[in-house]
Amino acid sequence: MSFHPPERTLMGPGPSDVNPRITEALARPTIGHLDPEFIRLMDETRDLLQYAFQTENKLTLPISAPGSAGMEACFVNLIEPGDTVIVCQNGVFGGRMKENVERCGATAVMVEDDWGTTIDVDKLASTISENPQAKAIAFVHAETSTGVKSDAKTICRLANQAGMLSIMDTVTGLAGIDVSIDDWGVDAAYSGTQKCLSCVPGISPVTFSQRAQELIQNRSSKVQSWFLDMNLIMGYWGEGTQRAYHHTAPVNAIYALHEALTILQTEGLENSWARHQRNHNALKAGLEAMNLKLIVAENDRLPQLNAVAVPDGIDEAQVRSDLLNQFSLEIGAGLGALAGKVWRIGLMGYSSNPTNVRLCLQAFESALIAQGAKLPLGDAIAAANALYAA
């Protein structure tokens, strides 16, 4: 029998709601991955990704796999056995960077900060001084597990001053907040389609600087992954009409990504960032009206991923269950050190809109009252409405 999923409102850490224009794009006729028209679409998709990343990097393309493969592509192409990499960790995904470094046969020097706090750039600077042999600095720009934004511009400046590469995870950042690859001097970055681009999961946009590309071309050892070897992939995703077969691209998923990037370009990057911030502010006002607190300091918060502290006496899993079963609304649980302590509420891409903010606040109010919380009915939505009206 065919599978028919339920209708959900997706306000967790990803995936986000998919714009109907994108689902329509998925249903367009499949053509060959070497068809001249598909190659034209590949070139347009690269140009649109350069716009989203704010870069002129020629080596900018979508990896045919989710964000975790984008992460691996950056590490396996740039890191070789015997290298040293400084890895900043303030959440789950810094830990995954460490795993990638070690699987490349390199040594990870960790700079660790408390979950829910930003990367301490002074601590990082000291670690750089203590490890001048390090080849690269790896960090998470937008930590999905905590809702923290780190100072990417300063981190990349420190890397460049030390003659080190910078590898940046911006899976949750792209299209939700400023991601300025060229201005910041980022050498390699990766993202995902299922977050603020509101595309279907399964594709990872990546970009490599000219310096990174030259390093890849002059490695002393083969890239350990054949599938993710940029030297090979560029034969397919490079410029010109003649393309070397590397793999069968997910043709319809690329249609979807192209549509998502077209939507982003039409809205404009700055407008997209402003929309995410405005809806975050409204959600925050409503949460605070219910005496719920965001765990991240205001200047370090991601507007698109909100980590909310679970009040004493509240069963956090039951709240999530109520939201899903009664309101068909999905939010996320805490991970790692924050498991059982926070809810993660996403306001990403197409999901970031006033209707969803109000639904989320109404659902939370209902779920908390069901567990005995004393809340004035309607105050949360009234607080959000007041902000929207301002």
Indicate the class that CATH gives domain 269-389. Answer: alpha beta
Residue partners of 281: CB distance under 8 A and separation at least 6:
303, 387
Q: What is the pLDDT of residues 290-342, one digit of tens each?
A: 999 999 999 999 999 999 999 999 999 999 999 999 999 999 999 999 999 99
pLDDT in tens, 25-80: 999 999 999 999 999 999 999 999 999 999 999 999 999 999 999 999 999 999 99
**Alpha helices (H) along the chain:** 20-26, 36-53, 67-78, 92-103, 121-130, 152-161, 181-184, 210-217, 230-237, 251-267, 269-289, 316-327, 354-370, 379-389
pLDDT at 9 over 80: yes
Q: At 112, list the tokens.
A: 């660790």
pLDDT tens-place string over residues 98-128: 999 999 999 999 999 999 999 999 999 999 9
Residue with the two structure tokens 């105050």: 379
CATH of domain 19-266: 3.40.640.10
Same topology for domains 19-266 and 269-389, yes or no? no
Collapsed DSSP state (helix, strand, coil) of residue 203: coil
Mean pLDDT to the nearest integer, 381-386: 98
pLDDT at site 238:
86
Domain assignments of the chain as residue spans, ordered by start: 19-266, 269-389
* pLDDT, tens only, 164-198: 999 999 999 999 999 999 999 999 999 999 999 99
